[in-house]
Amino acid sequence: GPPACVALLAAVARDAVELLTDPVARAGLRQCAGDNCPIVYVDMSRGRRRRWCSSEVCGNRERVARHRRRAALASRT
């Protein structure tokens, strides 16, 4: 059957302790660069240059905002 709630909480707690006590893993912790996004993630990208928790959500919002700024600038001139 499915694991008990206590077992799930224990697994999450164990993983959190391992993450926060391992200096290499802790160095990969990043906060999302998206506006008003509180998510913290572990950057495991090849170049360690990931900016957003999700390219599909926060990254897309940033790209759309950038496009709108460029379009607004272009329409003023």
Q: How many CB atoms lie within 10 A of CB 38?
A: 8
pLDDT tens, 35-54? 889 999 999 999 999 999 99
pLDDT tens, 13-30? 999 999 999 999 899 999
Q: For residue 2, what pLDDT band results from cuts at 50, 70 and 90?
A: confident
- Residue 1: per-residue pLDDT: 76
Asked if residue 58 lies in contact with residue 32, where contact means CB atoms within 8 angstroms, the answer is yes
**Averaged pLDDT, 59-71:** 92
The secondary structure of the chain, three-state, reads CCCCHHHHHHHHHHHHHHHHHCHHHHHCEEECCCCCCCCEEECCCCCCCCCCCCHHHHHHHHHHHHHHHHHHHHHHC
Q: For residue 72, what pLDDT band results from cuts at 50, 70 and 90?
A: very high
